[in-house]
Amino acid sequence: MSIPDPSSAKLFRVLQTQAGISRRKALDLVLAGEVSLDGRPILDPFLVLDPTDGHRVALRGHPLSLHPREPRVYRFHKPAGMLCSHDDPHSGNTAGRLLRAEGFLGYTWAGRLDQDAEGLLLVTNDGDLVQASSHPRYEVRKTYHVWLAETPSSASLERAFRIMQAGIEDEGEVLRILEGRIDSTARCAAVTLAEGRKHEVKRLFARCGYSVTRLLRVAVGSVELGRLAPGAIERLPQAEEARLLEDARRLLDKTDAERGCHSDDDSV
């Protein structure tokens, strides 16, 4: 291969940017033999590809461009009842189907919401942002509004918040919130977490004796849901989008350095 063009990239990076997947997923797909180069399986995720060399890369038979595409980030208000899945044999109401219908090919969401939960999802074609926003290791703060079947007193809720902050053991895991408060405007509880374990908010409130009737995610990191209507998708302002993408790359690089990992380490 000739001297690489400045726009050359490692194979796993090509998968990230063109398929909108995480580093880990890109590495796994290559090692599983799902990626071909010029018609032959390629198992080296760190192979440097030069877009000027005319190579043909395909993921599961679908051709991918070697030319960089612009990373983009959107806010999406997932409505209650929609499944966070690209496809599901039992439900046609999935986030993936909606995105494809709206022309978002190669996009995915960072983090998940339960089917009966609603609120903010970050939709992007940038694998680094998916990784940085989704993996518990990076402790991205997520804030939820929580409505309960009961109407507890302020003192009772404040006591529950203190218990949740200290940590509650449930099913072999320690669950906790970072902050809890009463939102008098929305007449609900508001909690902030940094891990996002399965059904975590519902489990925390259940262990304190409360039943959650509605769960709305209103913020992921610095991005807020605002007044975005259910089902609506809106691109972030350019400055906010650029800052979010840069912060994600900085966070991944910092974590790699702290773990003593070379940038090519496939443990990321």
150 DSSP assignment: S
Which ranges in 194-237 belong to alpha helices (H)? Answer: 200-207
Angle in degrees, 0-180, between the axes of helices 127-134 and 23-31, rounded to the nearest 10: 110
Residues 6+ away with beta carbon under 8 Å from 57: 11, 14, 35, 36, 37, 49, 63, 64, 66
Distances from the Cα of 170 to the Cαs of 14, 148, 165, 177, in angstroms? 40, 20, 14, 14
CA-CA distance, 152 to 166, in Å (whole number)?
20
- Can you read off the two tokens belonging to residue 93? 């109401």
Residue of 114, 170, 247, 266 with catalytic role: 114
The answer to whether residues 161 and 181 touch, using CB atoms and an 8 Å cutoff, is yes
- Go through 38-53 and write b for each residue having 16 or more CB atoms within 10 A of its CB, e for each that does not: eeeebeebebebbbee
Does the annotation mark 114 as catalytic?
yes
147 DSSP assignment: E
Terminal-to-terminal C-alpha distance of the chain: 27
In which residue are the tokens 């059904």 written?
199
Task: Give the closest residue to 53 by CA, choosing from 118, 106, 3, 90.
Answer: 3
Catalytic residues: 114
